[in-house]
Amino acid sequence: MITKERRGDYLGATVQVIPHITDEIKNAVKRIAPGNDVVLVEIGGTVGDIESLPFLEAIRQFRREVGKENAIFVHLTLVPYIAAAGEVKTKPTQHSVRELMEIGIQPDFLICRSEKPLQDDVKRKIALFCNVDFGAVIESPDVPTIYQIPLVFEQQGFADRVMERLRLTAPTPDLSAWRTMVQRVTHPREKVRICVVGKYTDYVDSYKSVQEALIHGGIANDVGVELAWTSSDLFTGPEKAREILSHHHGLLVPGGFGVRGVEGMVEAIRAARELQLPFFGICLGMQVAIIEFSRHVLGLDDSHSSEFAPECGHPVVSLMNSQREVTDKGGTMRLGAYPCRLQRGSKAAEIYGQSEVSERHRHRYEVSNRYRERFSEQGMRLSGLSPDDSLVEMIELPAHPWFVGCQFHPELQSRPLRPHPLFAGFVAAAHARRAAEASAAAAPLAHGKQ
């Protein structure tokens, strides 16, 4: 909209929320509609908040334009359970629906989040006061894993009712693979403990994609993944790092921005390398692995990232020459999908099972090419490079059971039925570590019996 105004498309007219912003919201939906049978659009926020009003107005207009038979409204609402009274309360749902109706939106379906199962009399009350059919009140109860929810919806015939309202037909879905996947999540044959060391561990939703991708990796190996969200500030030295990691089967260091906590990550990665503990570094995690290797293997004590220490003697992670004159941070970031060529015979190529992949990026700084030869000479394999060999995308240590770093964000492409190969491989390595520890612990007992 701003671009259109600067270009003069509005011919000097006053630019307003309605119709200009609402038109652009509708256009965003229309742009992705061609070629699709159904477009699912989430309107975030809470009904009544100022931020969401333009979006609600936009979808109200949208339905009038395309017709009621081509657009339905599904409202997600909370039905809280009051433990002191021993009952659920429907007033919040009634009030939120009333707020919607005041701006011209009548929900067709209500998905009711609830701690306790909803009895039929509660559903009838919600249907009556919210002006929807009894069958349009869909439960979304608390479950052990979010992946159970599609099965819960299917049991209530939610998809069939939506298809009926949109006048669509489709074959009965085969959910057997999904059910098997849920079974693996809820009843794994074994469990592994992964230590996730990052900056934002107090707010684990910051790593939601990483968390889910690790669960997907567990699904691929039929093991449960227990995550220990650990602040990097706790890794105050080599002995402390070894002590913390001794209780885990793998270490993952995810992405992040800023210098805080980097020294703790260095100690954690050093301990994982020396203890032969499976390690997976993503984005910043790979860059810190480069810093750690430079300091403790190459002997470059004054090595760092120029992002954190611009005056350091050995900026092993830095901006590329083409980025140095760009002052806007967004202009220097690598965003979106980029190809990565994998070195033949590397662990990366073995994990992916192919020679070139495409992965999504979100970062500014890169591994400095000035030190690539030194890394290789001391045993680090630069296993993934950009097609023109100018950028390091993946690293690994061949002498280590599983030590892999990647500059991109593989978690963004992982799915429960299609776990990302790197996460599946990492969890498999952690499981192997667990099995080795169990075998070593059992050996003295067996010897004693003999």
Residue 365, SS3? coil
- The active-site residue out of 112, 283, 312, 340 is 283
Cα–Cα separations (whole angstroms), residue 145 to 127, 185, 251: 28, 7, 23
Backbone angles phi, psi at 338, to 5 degrees: -135, 145
Query: Cα separations (Å) of 41 from 23, 44, 233?
Result: 15, 9, 40
Set 249, 312, 411, 420: catalytic member: 411
Compute CA 154 distance to the chain's CA centroid, rounded to the nearest angstrom: 25
CA 285 from chain centre, in angstroms, equals: 16
**Where does residue 21 rank: exposed (0-12), middle (13-18), buried (19+ CB within 10 A)?**
middle
Instruction: Give the orientation angle of helix 284-296 with respect to helix 262-274, to 10 degrees.
Output: 70
Residue/partner pairs of 173-176 with CB below 8 Å, 24 or more apart: 175/150, 175/151
Closest alpha carbon to 431 in 278, 230, 247, 229: 278
Q: Is 420 among the catalytic positions?
A: no
Could you tell me where the DSSP H helices lie in 275-332?
Answer: 284-296, 329-332
Q: Exactly one of 248, 314, 363, 409 is catalytic; name it.
A: 409
d(CA 56, CA 60): 6
| Measured distance CA(80)–CA(26) in Å, rounded | 33
Distance CA 316, CA 287 (A): 9
Q: Are 41 and 59 in contact (CB under 8 A)?
A: yes
Is 411 a residue of the active site? yes
Q: Is 307 a catalytic residue?
A: no
Q: Residue 305 and residue 259: Cα distance in Å, rounded?
A: 9
Residues 6 or more apart whose Cβ sits within 8 Å of residue 278:
249, 250, 251, 272, 401, 402, 403, 426, 429, 430, 432, 433
Cα–Cα distance, 328 to 161 (Å, whole number):
49
What are the catalytic residues?
Answer: 283, 409, 411
